[in-house]
């Protein structure tokens, strides 16, 4: 078989697995968000199980990528794409971890309701879902403009994070006996804020892959 054809077939398989990983991360985020909204503890277990799938996909993809680099000795844009794969899987895996954190918070709130609005927290998670989907699409389609526009939405997550922390601190001032719960909520918001940072990192990697230049989005 022609070496180039074989390489492209291997890349197609890699793309399929990356799409599967990104889809699973997005689905787990949505499950965690739904658990937060409904208190459905079955969804919490599904998110934890999904994290194992995500971790397994990361190992599979990175092993395949390493073999391709070693055996095909790619250069130029092909090499940039393969190097970018490691950044994509690393950031997706970390986002998956944040979905688990959100699911754990949902479980705790089901046992001890907060009693205040979680609208900002929910909006951060919802935006995170769409950002993950668009970032993976940008990678698969080699779409640098989509990567840039996706990363810009991280500002919205940052704004909601700051506002939510203020709301929780005000709640804590009025209910000092709920310090443990308030601390957990602030930590959860911080995890979602970092989620946005990981999507931004992924988007920066896409720009490097497509254009061969390093950029810092949302400084």
pLDDT tens per residue, range 115-156: 888 999 999 999 999 999 999 999 999 999 999 999 999 999
Its pTM stands at 0.94
CA dist., res. 90 & res. 94, Å (int)? 6
Residue 219 pLDDT more than 70?
no
Residue 115 within a domain: yes
Instruction: Give the per-residue pLDDT at 145.
Output: 96
Q: Tell me the residue range of the domain where 130 lies.
A: 3-211
First-to-last C-alpha distance (Å) of the chain: 46
CA dist., res. 42 & res. 46, Å (int)? 6
CA atoms 110, 114, 119, 124: torsion sign? negative
Cβ 107 vs Cβ 35: under 8 Å: yes
Residue 25 within a domain: yes
Give the CATH number, domain containing residue 126.
Answer: 1.20.58.220
Residue 94 within a domain: yes
CA dist., res. 79 & res. 48, Å (int)? 34
Tell me the two tokens of residue 37. Answer: 């909204």
Residue 218 within a domain: no
Residue 216 within a domain: no
Residue 108 within a domain: yes
Residue 21 pLDDT more than 80?
yes
Q: How many domains would you assign to the chain?
A: 1
Residue 217 within a domain: no
Residue 63 within a domain: yes
Residue 191 Cα distances to 94, 97, 162, 164, 185, angstroms: 10, 9, 13, 13, 10
């Amino acid at each position: 078989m022609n070496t180039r054809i074989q390489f492209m077939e291997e890349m197609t398989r890699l793309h399929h697995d990356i799409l599967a990983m990104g889809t699973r991360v997005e689905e787990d985020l949505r499950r965690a968000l739904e658990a937060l909204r409904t208190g459905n503890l079955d969804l919490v277990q599904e998110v934890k199980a999904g994290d194992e799938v995500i971790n397994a996909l990361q190992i599979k993809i990175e092993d395949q990528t390493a073999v391709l680099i070693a055996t095909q000795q790619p250069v130029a844009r092909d090499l940039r794409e393969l190097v970018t794969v490691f950044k994509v899987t690393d950031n997706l895996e970390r986002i998956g971890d944040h979905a688990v954190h959100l699911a754990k918070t949902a479980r705790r709130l089901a046992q001890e309701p907060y009693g205040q609005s979680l609208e900002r927290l929910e909006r951060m998670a919802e935006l995170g879902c769409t950002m993950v989907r668009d970032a993976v699409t940008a990678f698969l389609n080699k779409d640098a403009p989509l990567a840039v526009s996706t990363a810009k939405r991280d500002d919205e997550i940052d704004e909601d994070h700051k506002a939510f922390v203020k709301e929780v601190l005000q709640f804590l001032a009025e209910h000092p006996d709920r310090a443990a719960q308030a601390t957990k909520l602030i930590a959860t918001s911080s995890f979602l804020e970092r989620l946005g940072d990981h999507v931004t990192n992924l988007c920066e990697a896409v720009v490097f892959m497509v254009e061969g230049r390093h950029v810092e989005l949302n400084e």
